[in-house]
Amino acid sequence: MSTNESDQNQPLHIHILGICGTFMGGLALIARELGYKVSGSDKNVYPPMSTQLEQEGIQLMNGYKAKNLDCKPDLVVIGNAMSRGNEEVEAVLNQGLKYISGPQWLAEHVLQNKWVLAVAGTHGKTTTSSMLAWVLEFQGFKPGFLIGGIPLNFGLSARLGGSDFFVIEADEYDSAFFDKRSKFVHYHPRTAILNNLEFDHADIFDDLNAIKKQFHHLIRTIPGGGLIIAPEKDHNISDVLHMGCWTQVTKTAINTDAPWSAQLIKIDGSQFTVLFNGKEQGIVDWSLTGEHNVYNAMAAIVAAKHIGILPVDAINALKKFKNVKRRMEIIANIKGVTIYDDFAHHPTAIEMTLDGLRKQVGTEKIVAIVEPRSNTMRMGIHTQSLAESLNKADIAIIYQPKELDWDLSELKKYNRKIEIHTTLDDIIDKLKAECSSKSHFVLMSNGSFGGIYQRLLNEI
C-alpha cells in the first residue's frame, strides 16, 4: 500500500466533496484500491455511482454540511463544482483542514512513475479513452484508467490497474475554485491525443483563444520523447501546435494520404480500412457509426502503437469494442421504434452523431430530443449552431424548462423542424404520436433529462 499509516496504524482518511461526479467517483474508487479510507458528500447521492461507491465500502453523505467533517479526515479532495459559500467548503477552510484538487491528488498519488496516455479535446474524450483502455486490456497490458463515463467493456469508470500504463480522459475544465488551471495540466502525459478543439465551457472561458492557451499549457508538459496525435484538418489544434511544440506530432485523417488514414468502406463509418504510409494495416468492422468515431479509433490505434501494440492487434481489439454507456446506447426497441440515449453536450457532437445515424438508417425517421443542459448551451452561446446541428433529424424536439436562461424560440429562425416543449409530458405525448415502424428516437442530454427515459419506455 502506498499510503502512510496514521499513529493508530489506520489507513489515512480521504473525504471527497462532489464524490458522485464521474471523475471524483472514479478517483474515490482508485483511492480505495490504494488502501485509503474514503468518504464523501454530494448534493445528490443517487445510483448508479452511489451504488458503485457503497459496494466498495465508501461512506456517502447527502448534502454539503459542516457536520460531514466531524469524522476529521486527514485530507479533503475538493471537486471543481464546489465554490466559496458552500457550507462544507467554508468548514474545511475555517477548520484549517488539509485540502487538494482532484487532478492534483491524482497526479501526486497515482500518475507519478506511470506512462500516462491522455485524451484531450472538445469531443470524443470519453469514447477515445475507452477505446484506448480496451485496446491495452485486450493485449494484456492491464492498464489503469479514469474515464468520464462507463466503458461497457469494463463496466466501471476507473481502476488502478496492474501495469505502468494509465489512460486518462484529460479535461480542459478548471481543477478547483483555488486552482483555475485546466485539469489536464496536472497529468504530464507521454502519449497525448488531441481530438479536436472548439469553443466550449463558456462559464469559465471568455473565448476560443483562452482555451487554446490552456491546450498549449498541456503541450508544454509533454516530453520530447513523447507523442502527440491530432487530426490533420483541425485548424484550432494546428494553431495551438504553432504556438510552440517540442514533441513529435502524428496526424490522422479520413480518405486522404496522411501518414495515418482511414479509408471508408461504408459511408456510415461502421467499416473502414486503416492505412499507415499507404500500407493497409487491417479493417475495422464494428457497431459504431460516424466519422467522429473513425477519428477516435485512428487516434487510439496510433496511441497504442506508441507503447508497442501492433496496429493489427489494436484493430482486432476495436472489433470487440462495445462503446460507452450513454453514447448512442440503444436502451429499447419497441414496436419498431429504436430508442437511443446519447450524452450530447455540444452542437458539433449532436451534428456528428445524427450524421452517423442518418448514413446508417437512410430515409427512416429520426426524431432528436434535446435537453440543453451543458453550461455553454444553457447560456445560449450556440444558438445558430445548435439549431443547424439538428438538420439531419426529421423532427427536432427541444426541452425548455422554466429555469433555462434564454428563449429557445430563437432556434426556429435557423431550423424549421424544431419544436419547443416546456414539459416532459408534452414531449412524451409527441413521441407517442410519432411512433411508427423503423423510427429512431435519440434522447440527447448530459444529465438525467428529468427521468424521461423510463417514463417514455413505460408509455410506449
Q: Are residues 161 and 295 in the same domain?
A: yes
Q: Number of structural domains, the chain?
A: 3
Average pLDDT of 164-182? Answer: 94
Domain membership of residue 387 (yes or no) is yes
Does the structure show a pLDDT above 60 at 4? no
CATH number at residue 35: 3.40.50.720
Q: Are residues 150 and 244 in the same domain?
A: yes
Domain membership of residue 169 (yes or no) is yes
Q: Please identify which residue in the block is written with the cell numbers 423532427.
A: 395
Give the range with max mean pLDDT: 278-282, 408-412, 434-438: 278-282
Residue among 111, 244, 92 nearest 165 (CA): 111
Give the range with max mean pLDDT: 361-365, 399-403, 408-412: 361-365
Give residue 414's pLDDT. Answer: 79
Domain membership of residue 324 (yes or no) is no
Give residue 204's pLDDT. Answer: 67
Identify the band that residue 353 occupies on the pLDDT scale cut at 50, 70 and 90: confident
| Separation CA 63–CA 82 (nearest Å) | 12
Domain boundary among 101, 127, 156: 101
Does the structure show a pLDDT above 90 at 345? no
Choice among 84-88, 204-208, 247-251 with the minimum mean pLDDT: 204-208
Q: Are residues 39 and 64 in the same domain?
A: yes
Average pLDDT of 377-403? Answer: 79
Give residue 6's pLDDT. Answer: 42
Give residue 379's pLDDT. Answer: 55
Domain membership of residue 25 (yes or no) is yes
Give residue 352's pLDDT. Answer: 83
Q: Are residues 407 and 381 in the same domain?
A: yes
Q: Are residues 385 and 455 in the same domain?
A: yes
pLDDT in tens, 255-312: 988 899 999 999 999 999 999 999 999 999 999 988 989 999 999 999 999 999 999 9
Domain membership of residue 108 (yes or no) is no
Higher pLDDT, 377 or 42: 42
Identify the band that residue 454 occupies on the pLDDT scale cut at 50, 70 and 90: confident
Whether the Cβ atoms of residue 131 and residue 114 lie closer than 8 Å to each other: no
Give residue 142's pLDDT. Answer: 97
CATH number at residue 420: 3.90.190.20
Does the structure show a pLDDT above 60 at 222? yes
* Burial (Cβ within 10 Å: 0-12, 13-18, ≥19) of residue 96: exposed
Single-letter amino acid code for the residue at 101:
S
Q: Are residues 300 and 346 in the same domain?
A: no
Q: Are residues 118 and 214 in the same domain?
A: yes
DSSP for 313-337, written as a single string: HHHHHHTT---BTTSSEEEEEETTE
CA 316 to chain centre: 24
Does the structure show a pLDDT above 90 at 319? yes
Q: 10 Å Cβ neighbour count for 446?
A: 17
Residue among 211, 247, 210 nearest 230 (CA): 247
Domain membership of residue 142 (yes or no) is yes
Give the range with max mean pLDDT: 57-61, 304-308, 398-402, 404-408: 304-308
Domain membership of residue 137 (yes or no) is yes
| Separation CA 165–CA 143 (nearest Å) | 5
Q: Are residues 349 and 395 in the same domain?
A: yes
Q: Are residues 310 and 207 in the same domain?
A: yes
Q: Are residues 241 and 354 in the same domain?
A: no
Q: Are residues 241 and 388 in the same domain?
A: no
- Average pLDDT taken over every residue of the chain: 89
Give residue 124's pLDDT. Answer: 85
Domain membership of residue 6 (yes or no) is no
Average pLDDT of 351-367? Answer: 90
Does the structure show a pLDDT above 50 at 3? no
Share above pLDDT 70 across residues of the chain, in percent, rounded to a whole number: 93
CATH number at residue 257: 3.40.1190.10
Spatial strand order in the sheet of 165-169: 158-159, 144-146, 165-169, 115-120, 191-194, 227-231, 248-254, 260-264, 271-276, 279-285
- Show the cell assigned to 323: 462503446
pLDDT in tens, 63-120: 999 999 999 999 999 999 999 999 999 999 999 999 999 999 999 999 999 999 999 9
Q: 10 Å Cβ neighbour count for 368?
A: 28
Average pLDDT of 356-373? Answer: 89
Does the structure show a pLDDT above 60 at 2? no
Domain boundary among 284, 318, 352: 318
Domain residues for 367?
329-459
Does the structure show a pLDDT above 80 at 375? no
Q: Are residues 173 and 260 in the same domain?
A: yes
Domain boundary among 291, 318, 345: 318
Does the structure show a pLDDT above 70 at 381? no
